[in-house]
Amino acid sequence: MKVVKTVCHRDCPDTCFIDVTVKDGKILSTRGNGENPATQGFICPRGIGDPKRVYSRKRILHPYIRKSAENAGKFSKATWERALSLITDKLKDTLERHGPESVLIYDYPGNQGFLAWQFPRRLWFALGATTTDYSLCSNSGHAAIGLHYGLTYGIQPEELQEMDVITFWGNNAKVSSPHQWSFASKARKNREAIIVDVDPRKSPTSEAADIWLNPRPGSDVALAYGIARYIILNRGVDRKFIDEWTDGYENFEKEALSWTPNRVEQVTGLSWNQIETAGDLYINKRPAAFMIGLGLQKSCQGTEAVRAISLLPALLGYHRGFHYSDSNGRFVDWAYLCGSSLTQKKGKVVNQVSIGPRLESGEFKFVFVLGSNPAVTLPDQTSVRKGLSRDDVFVVVHDTHWSETTYFADINLPAATYYEKTDVNFSDHHLYSRLSNKVIEPLGESRHEIKVMQEIASRLKLSESWLYEDPWQALGIALKEAFTEKSLADILNGEVLKLKLRPNNEYQTQSGKIEFSSSRSFEIGVQEIPVQTELKMDGGRYLLLNSSIPNYTHSQFTDVYGPIPQIVWINKEDAGKSKIHDGNEVLLYNELGEVRVKAIVNEKVSKGVLWAPRPLTGLEGSPLNVLAPGTPQIIGGGPKFNSIKVKIRKLT
């Protein structure tokens, strides 16, 4: 029996260090490792359940080829030689007949790691294939904060221990970032910090917070301006900081003062007393941290909300007194690692959120899916699934497990899990890194993504030497400036290193300051300062919110914990009007599709609001995202998952 040190590679902010107990080449258990000051030696249900997922019956252990065009979802086991020959022949034919823009690489961090995810992209850049802009997750928030700060890095998780007011805004940290919540709880215990939660749904974080503000969904800008007004009128603004470190404050102040108590109450549904309580906290208890959730920016009003919230700490005199994601504050040469800077070919980049109609139209003739499950996670699922089903579209999936997307594939290739390969991965939310050691040998015929990429490149007779570069050498170059001290060589020797982060008082804007009035706003057609857009609801429709729950990372872990609960929360009063009782089956529907779920009647959502776990599959098999529009946001091109409008009808 031995213990192997590794790192969780889930698409999750915490990126925990893990100790894995192995006996006779098989994983027995996992536990948190305390060498990471940010993750503190404890892991979540996904980390605990990962061994079961490694040995799940849903693992893809061999290459599989679809039996025939008429047999969607039915496959025959094949050899790697046969599968790779078919892939190469089809790829050659597609490139010759339709050009590289007809080849789409659809990749995402479902099986992430620098070598597993980034390095294999070199093949597709060498071909000049079409890539996506990765806008599905956090792009819109990055772009929104970037209008005022340049880059979006900010407070580190450990700093929460030194805060007196901690605000989780649209951020269910108790579920989605439990280590941040742990630091906040320590601050409350050790220094009587106050935890504020802003969420239209009564989440686990809301229930555990000291103050819960539940504004009307989409009214966060109004709430932020209301708080700003109170701070301004009650002499809470750090005028010296404003003069020295900011630009365009006058426009912001004028707008904030226009948000009278009555106006704020009318838009947010909150009482002015609640605004005063929050404002008093920020003025009188310092320092404060504003923890901005990724889910907040996934709505029609989300990017404007993120802009407004990010400016509140500047009023109080804090350099970057928020936390969103630190990924673009690092010193990593991603362009070298993935190969985009190594070729003169400039392939087309398409918006990820609106890719459904492109697939449906047949724009792409060859689609390679890596580490993702687009047949569940993308919006506008009807278009996505029609596109993947086209007879003239050849789909290859390289993944660890059978998923909804694999059943649309022509060829499925088995990938190794992160327990079955050595890699390096960084968190977007903390600065600590160590080697993610291989724990066991790959199961079945699972192959590393790099091996598959280089084999395809060789079969295509691609001559670019950087396609065949030693991946660890490439990683060393990409990470040359990444650490505060030492290098990748020390990571390989088992050391824990800390990443460099740009200074908190450095602002990558045109003025070199925090821009309350953005100098770049007109480039993308938005206002200089955050704007509260009008909130409209069609008669008889509900706003459907959706977010993650503890046992699942996106669509992963259904093989361990069962299906994502097929439920929807509905307010008690709304349920009474529609004669819906707890446990009734109901139909959620709009012009895009319909999903059948069970109703949970409670008072954790306001009237006119529904909530469902993301991304559930309904009782009849339709994914929740069949209801989600594929229209991207103006800022950052992100999705509008939390602006879904539906009707609800009782079925049983």
Same structural domain for residues 491 and 451?
yes
Same structural domain for residues 289 and 222?
yes
**Burial group, residue 111, by CB count within 10 angstroms (0-12, 13-18, 19+):** buried
Percent of the chain with pLDDT over 70: 100
Same structural domain for residues 459 and 420?
yes
Asked whether the predicted pLDDT for residue 614 surpasses 90, the reply is yes
pLDDT digits (tens, 9 = 90+) for 50-106: 999 999 999 999 999 998 776 677 899 999 999 999 999 999 999 999 999 999 999
Is 337 among the domain residues?
A: no
Q: What is the CATH number of the domain that holds 209?
A: 3.40.228.10
d(C-alpha 77, C-alpha 137), whole Å:
34
Enter the DSSP assignment of 118.
Answer: I
Same structural domain for residues 306 and 373?
no
Same structural domain for residues 124 and 28?
no
Asked whether the predicted pLDDT for residue 234 surpasses 80, the reply is yes
d(C-alpha 468, C-alpha 457), whole Å:
9
Work out the mean pLDDT of the chain and round it to a whole number: 96
Q: List all residues 6 or more positions away from 532 whose beta carbon is below 8 Å from its beta carbon.
A: 219, 221, 222, 225, 267, 301, 304
Same structural domain for residues 125 and 200?
no
- Among the listed residues 265, 287, 266, the one whose alpha carbon sits nearest the alpha carbon of residue 276: 265
Q: What are phi and psi of 375, to 5 degrees?
A: -75, 5
Residue 9, pLDDT score: 87
Could you give the C-alpha distances from 509 to 139, 303, 627, in angstroms and in order? 18, 18, 38
Q: In this structure, what is the dihedral angle of CA atoms 443, 446, 449, 455, given to the nearest 10 degrees?
A: 140
Is 344 among the domain residues?
A: no
Is 531 among the domain residues?
A: no
Residue 13, pLDDT score: 82
Q: What is the mean pLDDT of residues 7-30?
A: 93
d(C-alpha 15, C-alpha 428), whole Å:
8
Instruction: Tell the residue number behind the tokens 């800390």, with chain if given.
Output: 498
Could you give the C-alpha distances from 34 to 65, 263, 573, in angstroms and in order? 44, 49, 47
pLDDT digits (tens, 9 = 90+) for 250-270: 999 999 999 999 999 999 999
pLDDT digits (tens, 9 = 90+) for 439-485: 999 999 999 999 999 999 999 999 999 999 999 999 999 999 999 99
Enter the DSSP assignment of 565.
Answer: P
Residue 386, pLDDT score: 98
Residue 71, pLDDT score: 67
Is 232 among the domain residues?
A: yes
pLDDT digits (tens, 9 = 90+) for 93-116: 999 999 999 999 999 988 778 999
Same structural domain for residues 512 and 489?
no
pLDDT digits (tens, 9 = 90+) for 572-604: 999 999 999 999 999 999 999 999 999 999 999
Same structural domain for residues 90 and 49?
no
CA atoms within 13 A on the CB side of 73: 5
CA-angle at 626, arms to 621 and 630, nearest 5°: 155
Same structural domain for residues 304 and 237?
yes
Asked whether the predicted pLDDT for residue 536 surpasses 90, the reply is no
Q: How confident is the model at residue 389 (pLDDT cuts 50, 70, 90)?
A: very high
Is 258 among the domain residues?
A: yes
Same structural domain for residues 387 and 303?
no
d(C-alpha 397, C-alpha 370), whole Å:
6
Is 529 among the domain residues?
A: no
Same structural domain for residues 185 and 257?
yes
pLDDT digits (tens, 9 = 90+) for 19-51: 999 999 999 999 999 999 999 999 999 999 999
Domain boundary among 11, 31, 54: 54
User: How many domains is the chain partitioned into structurally?
Assistant: 4
**CB-CB contact of 53 with 556 (8 Å):** yes
pLDDT digits (tens, 9 = 90+) for 635-645: 999 999 999 99
Tokens of residue 567, six digits: 């439920």
Residue 12, pLDDT score: 85
Is 335 among the domain residues?
A: no
pTM for this structure? Answer: 0.96
- Among the listed residues 34, 43, 31, 32, the one whose alpha carbon sits nearest the alpha carbon of residue 550: 43
3-state secondary structure 501-563: CCCCCCCCCCCCCEECCCCCHHHCCCCCCCCCCCCCCCCCCEEEEEECCCCCECCECHHHHCC
Q: How confident is the model at residue 14 (pLDDT cuts 50, 70, 90)?
A: confident
Tokens of residue 572, six digits: 């008690």
Percent of the chain with pLDDT over 90: 95
Q: What is the CATH number of the domain that holds 21?
A: 3.30.200.210
| DSSP per-residue codes, 291-319 | EE-TGGGSSTTHHHHHHHHHHHHHHTT-T
Residue 278, pLDDT score: 98
Residue 539, pLDDT score: 76
**CB-CB contact of 2 with 29 (8 Å):** no
Q: What is the mean pLDDT of residues 382-403?
A: 97
Range of the domain at 283: 140-327+505-523
In the chain, helix, strand, coil percent, each to 5?
A: 35, 20, 45
pLDDT digits (tens, 9 = 90+) for 315-329: 999 999 999 999 899
Is 241 among the domain residues?
A: yes
| DSSP per-residue codes, 392-405 | T-EEEEEESB--TT
d(C-alpha 344, C-alpha 127), whole Å:
11
- Among the listed residues 600, 608, 565, the one whose alpha carbon sits nearest the alpha carbon of residue 584: 600
Instruction: Tell the residue number behind the tokens 């020295």, with chain if given.
Output: 244
Q: What is the CATH number of the domain that holds 644?
A: 2.40.40.20
Q: What are phi and psi of 641, to 5 degrees?
A: -60, -30
Enter the DSSP assignment of 196.
Answer: E
Instruction: Tell the residue number behind the tokens 């779920």, with chain if given.
Output: 597
Q: What is the CATH number of the domain that holds 88?
A: 3.40.50.740
Residue 207, pLDDT score: 97
Same structural domain for residues 71 and 192?
no
